[in-house]
Amino acid sequence: NAGVMQNPRHLVRRRGQEARLRCSPMKGHSHVYWYRQLPEEGLKFMVYLQKENIIDESGMPKERFSAEFPKEGPSILRIQQVVRGDSAAYFCASSPRTGREQYFGPGTRLTVT
């Protein structure tokens, strides 16, 4: 059973561009979580999604950030008009149902120049 997959692993964007980060959960997992780790800081929860639904977005910045988990295909974290402060590692995790352990992907490292 393949683990959580994230792509791209590294992404470089200029200020003002858009960044799209993709996450494919483990097979059979319908719950996806996104976390962000700023340089030299801890992991922070961003958003929790199930298929076609956002369950908890309490950690998402109010502007420029959005997430989706469509019925078919990977979950997408979208950052519009990126700024240097968005440079971070973005981790996706999946679980088979709520209340269970989460399995993390390798992360996408976003660098904004």
Partner 1 sequence: DAKTTQPPSMDCAEGRAANLPCNHSTISGNEYVYWYRQIHSQGPQYIIHGLKNNETNEMASLIITEDRKSSTLILPHATLRDTAVYYCIVVPMEYGNKLVFGAGTILRVKS
- 22 membership: H or E segment, kind and range: strand 19-24
Residue 8 near residue 24, CB atoms below 8 Å:
no
Interface map 47-76 toward partner 1 (x if CB under 8 A): -x------xx-xx-----------------
Under the binding rule (CB under 8 A), the answer on residue 99 touching partner 1 is yes
Six token digits for residue 21:
């980060």
- CB of 19 vs partner 1, minimal distance in Å: 18
Q: Which of 37, 109, 112 is nearest to 82 (CA)?
A: 112
Q: Which of 44, 52, 70, 113 forms a contact with partner 1 (CB under 8 A)?
A: 44
Six token digits for residue 39:
């340089």
CB nearer to partner 1: pick between 12 and 55 = 55
Q: Interface residues with partner 1 (CB under 8 A)?
A: 4, 33, 35, 42-45, 48, 55-56, 58-59, 89, 91, 93, 95, 98-107
